[in-house]
Amino acid sequence: MTASQAKAADRAEQEAVWEDIFGPERARMDRELAEDIDALIPECIPVMSVSEWAAARRILRTGVTPLPGPYRWEVTPYLREIADCLSALSPVQTVVVMKGSRIGATVGIAENWFGYIIDQAPGPTLFMSGDKETAQSVVETRVDAMIESAGLAHKIAPQSAKVHGKKTGDTKARKDFAGGFLMAVGPRVSAKLRTHGIRYFYGDEIDDMPAEVGRQGDPLALGIRRTSDYELTRKILLTSSPTLKETSRIEPAFVRGDRRYYYVPCKHCGHMQPLRWRHERDGETVYRLKFERDEMGRLIRSSVHYECEKCGGHWKNADKGWFLPRGEWRATAEAEQANYQSYHVSALYSPIGMQSWEAICQEWIGVGHEPLKEKGFINTVLGETWEQRGHAPRPEIVEARKEGYHLGTLPEGARPLVVTIGADVQDDRIEAEVVAWGVEWESWSIDYRVFPGLTVDGDSPAWRGLAEMLQERHAGFTPIMTMVDSGHNTPTVYAFCDRYTSGVMPIKGNIRFQDAPRLYYKTAKLPGYRASRVDVNTDHFKELFYGQVTRGTADGRPPTKPFPGFCHFPLDYDSAHYRQLMAEEVVDEVLKTGVRRRIWKQIHGRRNEALDCRVYALAALFVVQGIRKEGIEKATERKYGWKDFWAELLTSRGL
Give the alpha-carbon dihedral of 15, 17, 18, 23, to 10 degrees: 110
Least separation, in Å, of the C-beta of 356 and Zn ion? Answer: 21
CB closer to Zn ion, 20 vs 307: 307
DSSP H helical segments within 210-249, as ranges? 219-225
CB closer to Zn ion, 197 vs 327: 327
Least separation, in Å, of the C-beta of 267 and Zn ion? Answer: 8
Pick out residues in 485-544 that bind Zn ion (CB under 5 A): none
* Residue 522 CB burial class (10 angstroms; 0-12, 13-18, ≥19): middle
Given a contact cutoff of 8 angstroms between Cβ atoms, the answer to whether 592 and 212 are in contact is no
- Residue 305 bridge partners (DSSP): 290
Q: Where does this chain touch Zn ion (CB under 5 A) — which range of 302-310, 527-535, 589-597, 606-614?
A: 302-310
Taking the C-alpha atoms of residue 515 and residue 213, their distance in angstroms, rounded to an integer, is 10
CB closer to Zn ion, 98 vs 308: 308
> Under the criterion CB under 5 A, does residue 300 sit at the interface with Zn ion?
no
Taking the C-alpha atoms of residue 258 and residue 384, their distance in angstroms, rounded to an integer, is 17
| Contact mark string toward Zn ion, 79..108, x via CB under 5 A | ------------------------------
Q: Using alpha carbons, list the distances in angstroms from residue 391 to 396, 541, 543.
A: 15, 13, 8
- Residue 184 bridge partners (DSSP): 127
Three-state SS for 360?
A: helix
CB closer to Zn ion, 308 vs 469: 308
Q: Where does this chain touch Zn ion (CB under 5 A) — which range of 222-230, 258-266, 550-558, 610-618?
A: 258-266
CB closer to Zn ion, 245 vs 271: 271
> Under the criterion CB under 5 A, does residue 453 sit at the interface with Zn ion?
no
Taking the C-alpha atoms of residue 238 and residue 200, their distance in angstroms, rounded to an integer, is 11
Least separation, in Å, of the C-beta of 312 and Zn ion? Answer: 7
> Under the criterion CB under 5 A, does residue 308 sit at the interface with Zn ion?
yes
Binding residue for Zn ion (CB under 5 A) from 98, 236, 253, 266?
266
CB closer to Zn ion, 270 vs 641: 270
Q: Where does this chain touch Zn ion (CB under 5 A) — which range of 78-86, 310-318, 405-413, 485-493?
A: 310-318
Given a contact cutoff of 8 angstroms between Cβ atoms, the answer to whether 305 and 311 are in contact is no
CB-CB neighbours of 599 under 10 Å: 15
Least separation, in Å, of the C-beta of 314 and Zn ion? Answer: 9
Taking the C-alpha atoms of residue 320 and residue 75, their distance in angstroms, rounded to an integer, is 9
> Under the criterion CB under 5 A, does residue 268 sit at the interface with Zn ion?
yes
Parallel, antiparallel, or unpaired: how do β-strands 124-128 and 200-204 relate? parallel
Q: What is the largest CA-CA distance in the chain?
A: 83
Least separation, in Å, of the C-beta of 279 and Zn ion? Answer: 15
Closest CA to 344 of 289, 384, 286: 384
Parallel, antiparallel, or unpaired: how do β-strands 567-568 and 443-452 relate? parallel
Pick out residues in 625-644 that bind Zn ion (CB under 5 A): none
CB closer to Zn ion, 170 vs 309: 309
Q: Where does this chain touch Zn ion (CB under 5 A) — which range of 254-262, 301-309, 328-336, 398-406?
A: 301-309
Least separation, in Å, of the C-beta of 284 and Zn ion? Answer: 20
Q: How many CA atoms lie within 13 A of 216 on its CB side?
A: 19
Least separation, in Å, of the C-beta of 348 and Zn ion? Answer: 16
> Under the criterion CB under 5 A, does residue 313 sit at the interface with Zn ion?
yes
State the number of binding residues for Zn ion (CB under 5 A): 8
Binding residue for Zn ion (CB under 5 A) from 8, 56, 269, 286?
269
Parallel, antiparallel, or unpaired: how do β-strands 200-204 and 180-185 relate? unpaired
Q: Where does this chain touch Zn ion (CB under 5 A) — which range of 64-72, 152-160, 304-312, 565-573?
A: 304-312
> Under the criterion CB under 5 A, does residue 365 sit at the interface with Zn ion?
no
Least separation, in Å, of the C-beta of 311 and Zn ion? Answer: 3
Least separation, in Å, of the C-beta of 289 and Zn ion? Answer: 15
Least separation, in Å, of the C-beta of 292 and Zn ion? Answer: 21
| Residues, the chain | 655
Binding residue for Zn ion (CB under 5 A) from 9, 232, 300, 311?
311
Q: Where does this chain touch Zn ion (CB under 5 A) — which range of 38-46, 68-76, 271-279, 520-528?
A: 271-279
Taking the C-alpha atoms of residue 234 and residue 257, their distance in angstroms, rounded to an integer, is 17
Q: Where does this chain touch Zn ion (CB under 5 A) — which range of 260-268, 424-432, 463-471, 606-614?
A: 260-268
Given a contact cutoff of 8 angstroms between Cβ atoms, the answer to whether 514 and 453 are in contact is no
Taking the C-alpha atoms of residue 504 and residue 422, their distance in angstroms, rounded to an integer, is 10
Closest CA to 471 of 446, 444, 504: 504
Parallel, antiparallel, or unpaired: how do β-strands 235-240 and 260-265 relate? unpaired
CB closer to Zn ion, 72 vs 271: 271
What are the residues binding Zn ion (CB under 5 A)? 266, 268-269, 271, 308, 310-311, 313
